[in-house]
Amino acid sequence: MALLEIEHLSIMYRTPFGNVSALDDISLSVDKGESLAIVGESGSGKSTLALAIARLLPPNARYVGGSIIFDGVDILRLSETEFRRIRGTGIFMVFQEPATSLNPVYKVKDQLLEALRIRYEREGSVLDETKAVNEIIGVLKDVRMPDPELIIERYPHQLSGGQIQRVMIAMGLLMRPKLYIADEPTSALDVTVQAQILKLLKDLKNEYGISILFITHDIAVASIIGDKIAVLYAGHLMELGDMKSIIDNPRHPYTKALLSSIPRISKYEGKLPIIGGSVPNLLNPPSGCRFHPRCPYAMDVCKKEVPRLIRIDNTYVRCHLYGQ
């Protein structure tokens, strides 16, 4: 059953230079206990998508159309007060910059207690502080935090980036959300710590059965964490499918290019093929398919018409090469 179902979602930013269509007609879904990795380069709209689901878009953003159904409710129709009840315990978000995610003037313990207090309130039970601290220490052990008893007495600046990300993930576990949104949670971390966090998220998904929406610019990271992968480019969903089909049998020329243009450790590929040009400016996006100026297979129709998202086997592709 789908926990999150996004249909035809479009989002626009008003800027002094004109309107920017950041997301255009996005449809995707995340099942219970499933992880979906969203891959995109800068300007692809991947962070906008995460913020839109968490209803944290900046004031100059506007929902142009579509719906976001979470747990059977269209969250775009909820008032801010109604949505606040979903935030944290329903949808929890971990941000990219570990250093700025925690309040610098409170101890880790107090910030985790606040999270627990909210969950208890919503469950209608009363928080007993000693029991709560034990629960916090238990969860910190779950996220493989060394010396949790010492860590909870510290302030955020006394922790490393990896430790803060673990505290954030622990906070998520204390809230027991149904959907975890992680916006590049590991890109500011070292590779060995990134690997620890990715492994941890995967373990927690299996143990707790939470659903994960993982945003990343790195398709290799996506292939590790995602059961499914969605590829975004310039605000369009280009391809969506389960991890193996996207990695082993990519259909969209952009996905193919993305996979072949990153160097790998395991194989020697000769000279890396190049995708010419760069990511388009969304103030003035290319007509038709937004990838057509850089696409080696571009046809006349690609300049004129935006291709529809069509289904082939179990994957969805937005490209004129397929269908018709």
Partner 1 sequence: MVNDVLIRTENLTKIFLAKSYGIINRILREKPLYVRAVDGVTIEITRGKTTAVVGESGSGKTTLGRLLVTLEQPTFGHIYFRDIDITRLRGKDLHNIRSKLQMVFQDPYSSLNPVMRIKDIIGEPLRNRGIRGKALEEAVAKIMGEAGLDFSSLAERRPGELSGGQRQRVAIARALITNPEFIVLDEPTSALDASTQAQVLNLLIELQVRHELTYLLITHNIAVARYMSDYTMIMYMGKIFEVGETNTILKEPQHPYTQALIESVPDIGKTELKPPSGEVGSLVNPPKGCRFYPRCPFRMDICREKEPPLIEIKDGIKVACWLYAKH
Residues in the site for partner 1, rule: CB under 8 A? 41-42, 144, 146, 160, 162-163, 190-196, 198-199, 217-221, 223-224, 247, 257-259, 261-266, 268, 271-276, 278-279, 294
Least separation in angstroms between CB 200 and partner 1: 10
Q: Which CB atom, from 89 or from 186, has the smaller least distance to partner 1?
A: 186
Site of tokens 């801010």: 80
Least separation in angstroms between CB 82 and partner 1: 38
Q: Say what angle helices 108-123 and 129-142 make with each other, to 10 degrees.
A: 110
What is the C-alpha to C-alpha distance for residues 308 and 96, in angstroms, rounded to an integer?
32
Residue 201: which region, alpha, beta or left (left: phi > 0; alpha: psi -120 to 50)?
A: alpha
Beta-carbon neighbour count of residue 2 at 10 Å? Answer: 16
Q: Decide: helix, strand or coil at residue 12.
A: strand
CA distances from residue 47 to 42, 106, 281 in whole angstroms, order as listed = 9, 28, 16
Amino acid at 17: F
Q: Which CB atom, from 89 or from 245, has the smaller least distance to partner 1?
A: 245
Q: Which CB atom, from 259 or from 321, has the smaller least distance to partner 1?
A: 259
Least separation in angstroms between CB 197 and partner 1: 9
Q: Which CB atom, from 68 or from 145, has the smaller least distance to partner 1?
A: 145
Query: In the β-sheet with 2-15, what is the strand arrangement from edge to edge?
Result: 18-31, 2-15, 61-70, 73-74
Note whether 241 and 228 are within 8 A (CB): yes
Least separation in angstroms between CB 260 and partner 1: 9
Least separation in angstroms between CB 4 and partner 1: 24
Q: Which CB atom, from 68 or from 219, has the smaller least distance to partner 1?
A: 219
